[in-house]
A and B are shown apart, each in its own frame.
Chain A
Amino acid sequence: MTPSTLHDVRFIEPEKTRNYLNEDYGVFSWLLTKDHKRIGILYLLSVTLLFFVGGFFAFMLRLELLTPEGDLLTSDTYNKFFTLHGIVMIFFFLIPAIPAALGNFILPLMLGAKDLAFPKINLLSWYIYMTGAIFGIYVIVTGGVDTGWTFYTPFSTQYSNTHVFATTLGAFITGFSSILTGLNFIVTIHRMRAPGLTWFRLPLFVWSMYATSLVMLLATPVLAITLFLLMLERTLGVGIFDPALGGDPVLYQHLFWFYSHPAVYIMILPAMAVISECVAAFTRKKIFGYKFVAFASLAIAFLGFLVWAHHMFVAGISVYSAMIFSFLTMLVAVPSAIKVFNWTATMYRASVSWQTPMLYVMGFIGLFTIGGVTGLFLGAMGVDVHVHDSYFVVAHFHYIMVGGTVMGYLAGIHYWWPKITGRMYPEWWARLSALLIFVGFNLTFFPQFLVGYVGMPRRYHAYAPEFQVLNVLSTAGATVLAAGYILPMFYLFWSLWYGRKAGSNPWGAVGLEWATSSPPPKENFHVTPVVTWDAYDYPAFLKAMRETQNV
C-alpha cells in the first residue's frame, strides 16, 4: 500500500517481532549491553529512581516549611535534606536525565545510525554514573551532608562535620560520565549521520544536544578540578580557599560557578531539544526560523561560559567586573528569547494537536518564559542585591529547572514512549497528570517569588511568621505536584502490558526515529536510510516514504 497520509507510513519491517527488547533476555544482556537503546533504558530507570529520592527530600522540606517554627525536622536534618535534594536533583537527575536517558536512545535513531560512536564508552559512562550515585546513596544512608549543593568554602572545607568528602567524590566521579557522554555525542554527530543527512537537515534536537555536549566536555573538567581542590584542602589542609592559609574563599565561588552556570545550560538545552521536536511533531510544521533556533543553541552554549559571576554580585567582586557580567547575562538571554518566539510562531497556522507532549510543550513555554524573565531580574544588579539568596532565586531556578527541564523531560518521555516500548500510554491519564503538574508547579513556586521579594532568605529551616501564608500555599502546591509526578509511574507501567500497540509512527511525525519499527530492532534500521528531506519537511518526508514503500 502506498501511504496517503503520515499515519500510513510504515517502514519496511521484515521481521516485525524482533526488536531490541526481545533480542536477548537475562540480567547480563542488560548489564553488559552495548546497545545505546538499552543503555538509555538503564539511565532512564536510574535517573527516575533518583528523581524520586530527590523529590522525597523536597517534599520533607515543604512539610517542614508549613509552619514558621522548625518543628518537624531538626536544623541539621533540614540542612542535610536541602543539600541532598539539590545534589541528587542536579548531579544525578537533571544533568543526565535528558541527554543520557532520552538522548542516548533517540540520538542515533535520529541520525540513522546503528549506535553511538563508542558503544563501550557509553556503557562505561553509565557505570561511572552509578558509581557516583552509589557514593551519593552511601552519604544518604550514613548521615548525610549539610553544605548545600554549592559546597561553599570555608564552610565545606573546615566547618562542616558531615560527609563532604564522599559527596564531592561522588559528584566528581559522576562528572566523568557526562564528559564521556558529551564526547560520544559529539563524535557520533560528526561521524555517524546517515547518507544525505547534512548539518542543516538535522533535527533541532541534534543541534541542541551538540551544544549540550560541548558544554559538558568543556565545563565539567573545571568542576572536577574545583572539587578536587576542595577535597585536597579538606583532607590535607592545602591552603587554596582557606583564608588562614592565605587562600581565598571567593576563588572557590568563581571556580564553582564557572562550571555551574554552564551546567544550567547542560540542564536546559536538552529540554529545549525535546521541545523543538515536539513542537514540530504536534503542529505538523517546520520549526519557524530553523537556523536561528539551531544557532541559538550554540550561542547559549558559548555565552553560558561568560556569565558565571552573576552569582556573585554581593559576594565581594568589584563593581566593574559585576557590570561586565551583568551585561553578558543580558546577552545570554537573547538566544533563549529567540527560541521561545520561534516555537510560538511555529504554532501559527499549524495543525496543533492537544496530545500530552504538546500540553507539556505549552507548559514549558509558559513556565520557561517566567523562569527566563525572572532571570533578567537577577541579572539586573540593583535588584539582585536585594533578592540574591532569597526565595526569589529559588523560585526562578525551579521555573527553569522544573518548569523547563522536567516539563521537557516528561514531554520527551511521552513523545518517545511508543518508540521506546512499542505501546501507547493512556492519553487521558497523561493529560490529567500534565494538568496536575502544571497547576501544582505554579502553586508551589509562584508564591516563592513573592515571599522572596518580601524578604525570606533561602535555606531557612525556621522563618518569620509573616511569611507563613505564602509558604502554606507553596506546600499545598507541592502536594499536587507530587501527585502529578507519581501518576505517570502507574499509567506508564500499566501501558507496558495493556497500552495500545503503537506502530512505527503513531504521531504522524517526521524524523528517522519514526521511520523504523517500534520498538526498533537492535541495529535500529532494517535498511540504512537515505535522507532526501529537510528537517520537519512533511511533504518531502511523505514523498520519500512513498517511494521507499513502492519498491
Chain B
Amino acid sequence: MRSDFPLFPEQASTVAPYVDALYLFLVGITGLVSLLIWIAVFYFAIKYRRRPENELAEEIEPPQMLEIAWTVIPAIIFVGIFVAGAWVYFHINRVPDDALDIYATGRQWMWKFQHPSGQREINTLHVPVNRPIRITMASEDVIHSLWFPVFRVKADVLPNRYRTMWFEATKTGRFHIFCAEYCGTQHSGMIGWVEVMEPTAYQRWLAGGAEGSLASQGEKLFQKYACHTCHTNEATGRGPILAGLYGKQIQLTNNSRVLADDNYLRESILNPQAKIAAGFQPIMPTFQGQVNEEELIKLLAYIRSMPAAAPVVAPPTASAGPAATQNKGTVQ
C-alpha cells in the first residue's frame, strides 16, 4: 500500500482555485451547521434523558418565529450557494477567445486526441501550460465523460454531437485523465495522462512527425470521399460552395436558418437529409459509417480552413479552429 495518499487533489488549472474555494466554503458552513445539530441532539439526549421511566415531557408551544427563521435563513443561504455555484459554472463554461483547439474522440475504451497540426495521440494528451485549451469532442459509441481531476473540469462525451470543454493548466506535470461515465467492460481502464509542458517544450513536441496538419489531412479525405465532385468552388456545382461557410447563417429549404458551426457541419456530413440548404437538391449521400470520428474532425478542419474570399483553396493553416462565433460561452 502506498504510504503517500492525497486527501486533496492538486490545483493545476485557472478554475481549480475557484472550485476549491467554493468547496471549502461549503465544507465550512455546512460543517458548522451539522456540528450544531449534532451537538444539540447529543446535548438534549443527555440533558433531558428519561427518568423516571414513566415521566412525561412538558408541553411547550413552539414559537412561530422560530419556524419562520429556520425556513427563511436556510433558504437564503441555499440561494447564496446557488449563486456562487452558478458563477463558478459560468466560469467553467466560458471559453476564452484565444483558446488552442484540441479534438478528442472517446471510444470503448480509449481516448484519442488530435492536434490542429496533425499530431494524434492515444490516452495521452500534451498541452502547453498557461494557455487556454478548448477540447471539442464526440464519442464513437456510448457516452463517455472526460475528466481532469486536477483541473476540476469534466464533460460528458456524446455520440451524436460535439461538445466543448476548456481549461488552462497552471502547472507543468503529468496528471490523470479519467473516463467518468460508465461505458462498459473496461470503463476503469479508459484512463490516461495529460502532460502539461512548458510552451517551448510543447513546440518541440509539436514539431515531431505528423502527416501534415489536420486541415491538409482533411483535404486529402475531401478528395478520397469525392466530396469535391459536388462541392466545387463554382456556383454551378451540384453542392453548395463550402469556402467561407463556417460561422455563417445558412438558409434552409424550410425557410429557417441555422448557424454553420461544428455540429451543423457534422450533421451535414453524417445525416445530410436532416437539414437541406436552400437552392439544392437532397442528393448528398450520407457518410455515416464511412467517415469515422477522427476523419470527421479532419474534414471539418479542412472546411473551416477554406477562406471565404479566395476562389482557390488556400494552404490550410495550423490554427484552423472553430471560429469565435461558435456558441461561445456555453457548453453545447
Contact = CB atoms under 8 A, between A and B. Distances in A.
Interface of A: 5-7, 70, 75-76, 79, 146, 148, 152, 154-155, 158-160, 243-244, 246, 248-250, 283-286, 288-289, 292, 313-316, 318-319, 322-323, 326-327, 329-331, 333-334, 337-338, 340-342, 344-345, 347-354, 358, 362, 365-366, 369-370, 373-374, 376-377, 379-386, 388-390, 450, 453-455, 457-470, 472, 508, 538-539
Interface of B: 1-2, 4-9, 18-19, 22-23, 26, 30, 33-34, 37-38, 40-42, 44-45, 48-50, 53-60, 62, 66-67, 70-71, 74-75, 78-79, 81-82, 84-93, 108, 141-143, 145, 147, 149-150, 152-156, 158-161, 163, 176, 178-189, 191, 271, 274, 288, 329-332
A365 B41 contact: yes
Contact of B22 (A326, A383, A469): A383
Contact of B330 (A244, A318, A331, A468): A318
Contacts of B75: 330-331, 334
Contacts of A352: 44-45, 48-50
A289 B74 contact: no
Given A152-B143, A373-B33, A386 B184 contact: no
A338 B71 contact: yes
A370 B81 CA distance: 16
A70 B185 CA distance: 12
Given A351-B55, A373-B34, 5 more contacts: A79-B185, A246-B271, A334-B74, A374-B30, A458-B180
A316 B82 contact: no
Contacts of B181: 152, 389
Contacts of B41: 344, 347, 362, 365-366
A7 B55 CA distance: 10
Given A345-B62, A351-B57, A468 B188 contact: no
Nearest to A354: B49
Contacts of B145: 314, 389
Per DSSP, are chain B's interface residues mostly helix, strand or loop, or mixed? Answer: mixed
A284 B55 contact: yes
A316 B5 contact: no
B11 to A, nearest CB: 11
Contact of A316 (B34, B62, B288, B331): B331
20 contacts: A76-B185, A79-B182, A154-B141, A160-B184, A243-B159, A289-B67, A344-B40, A352-B50, A376-B78, A377-B26, A377-B30, A380-B85, A383-B22, A385-B152, A386-B152, A455-B9, A459-B182, A460-B187, A467-B5, A469-B2
A347 B48 contact: yes
B184 A159 contact: yes
Contacts of A454: 6-9, 149
Contacts of B179: 457
A146 B2 CA distance: 31
> Which 9 A-B pairs have CB atoms at the shortest separation, nearest pair first?
A382-B88, A380-B85, A455-B149, A243-B160, A373-B30, A381-B89, A347-B44, A5-B54, A460-B188
Nearest to A148: B182
A469 B1 CA distance: 7
B4 A466 contact: yes
Contacts of B185: 75-76, 79, 146
B56 A538 contact: yes
B307 to A, nearest CB: 32
B13 to A, nearest CB: 11
A292 B67 CA distance: 8
Contact of B158 (A250, A289, A469, A508): A250
Given A243-B159, A377-B23, A377-B26, A450 B82 contact: no
B231 to A, nearest CB: 24
A91 to B, nearest CB: 18
Contacts of B49: 352-354
Contacts of A340: 37
B237 to A, nearest CB: 28
Contacts of A75: 185-189
A379 B82 contact: yes
A349 B89 contact: no
A35 B33 CA distance: 45
A377 B85 CA distance: 9
A452 B174 CA distance: 20
Nearest to B90: A319
Contact of A380 (B55, B82, B91, B189): B82
Given A148-B182, A385-B92, A459 B187 contact: yes
Given A155-B142, A466-B6, A350 B48 contact: yes
B34 A461 contact: no
B202 to A, nearest CB: 24
Nearest to A244: B288
Given A314-B145, A454-B149, A468 B1 contact: yes
A331 B188 CA distance: 35
B188 A154 contact: no
Contacts of A338: 67, 70-71, 74
B45 A314 contact: no
Contacts of B44: 344, 347-348, 350, 352
A337 B86 contact: no
Contact of A354 (B30, B45, B81, B156): B45
B251 to A, nearest CB: 23
